[in-house]
Copies of this chain bind each other. A is one copy, B any other.
Amino acid sequence: MQEKQLHSGKKNLFFNKDYISEFVYGGIDGAITTFAVVAGAEGADLGIQVVVILGMANLIADGFSMSVGNFFSTKTERDTFERHKQIEYWEVENLREKEIQEIREIYAAKGFKGELLEQVVEVITADKEVWVDTMMKEELEMVKSDKTPYKTAGMTFFSFVIVGSVPLLSYFFAGRGPAIDEELFPFSCILTAVALAIIGSLKSIVTEKNLFFGILETLFLGGIAAFLAYFVGDVLEKMFVNF
């Protein structure tokens, strides 16, 4: 095992990765859902105009919805932590004996006993900060997230819109001749695959896994989603035609 893989400090290890993670998941979702709209519309032969209109509508509306959802979920996590911390402070103030007993049980489970256990309980419960911090980690198994809701939501939206616009790029060349128009969807497939491969390689940084595996996984996921959308579009179009 190499030295650089070892734990040398919390901040270095987690700080930047947090927001890469938002970039990766926002980008994957943006590219896949926009490409699904494109593939669904192509499968149903709905025309270039529909692809561009609904692709753009998806980009803005879904990007907004995902970012705000992300904002609330990050915020809820932080709020939940703070609320439970307040409950612990209240319990430490008002149910002192019960909470002392909980600390005793926590440290007994770690192997402390007798006089040493009582001394440990005394030191932990002497400082309310340390006492509550111990209850949060050991009883509730909750730790505070470093992420701020505004940053996670902003990064998600940015990535969703930027990466998510890739499947639409080729359609901006629509109307330059019928020969080109027929190549728009194949070009969109290629561009989207390249974008997903790049973001898949970034993902392997977040998950600390094999680069090749990260790329394949992301491409596979995007491919299945697009296939499903194309297939649903195709089947439904035939149903409408035969209706």
Contact = CB atoms under 8 A, between A and B. Distances in A.
Contact of A53 (B28, B40, B57, B90): B40
A100 interface: no
A176 interface: no
A58 B36 contact: yes
A140 B143 CA distance: 10
Nearest to A68: B221
Contacts of A130: 110-111
Contacts of A37: 37, 54, 57-58
Interface string A36-74: 110111011010011011101110111011101100110
Contact of A62 (B13, B36, B120, B206): B36
Contact of A79 (B25, B124, B207): B207
A179 interface: no
B29 A90 contact: no
A182 interface: no
A72 B217 contact: yes
Of A60, A91, A127, which is in contact with the most chain B CB atoms at under 10 Å from its CB? A60
A26 B99 CA distance: 38
Interface string A67-99: 011001100100110011001101100010000
Given A39-B57, A49-B237, A119-B119, 5 more contacts: A7-B135, A37-B57, A41-B57, A50-B50, A61-B228
14 contacts: A6-B95, A10-B140, A29-B69, A37-B58, A41-B54, A44-B57, A46-B50, A54-B54, A58-B58, A72-B217, A110-B123, A112-B123, A116-B120, A119-B119
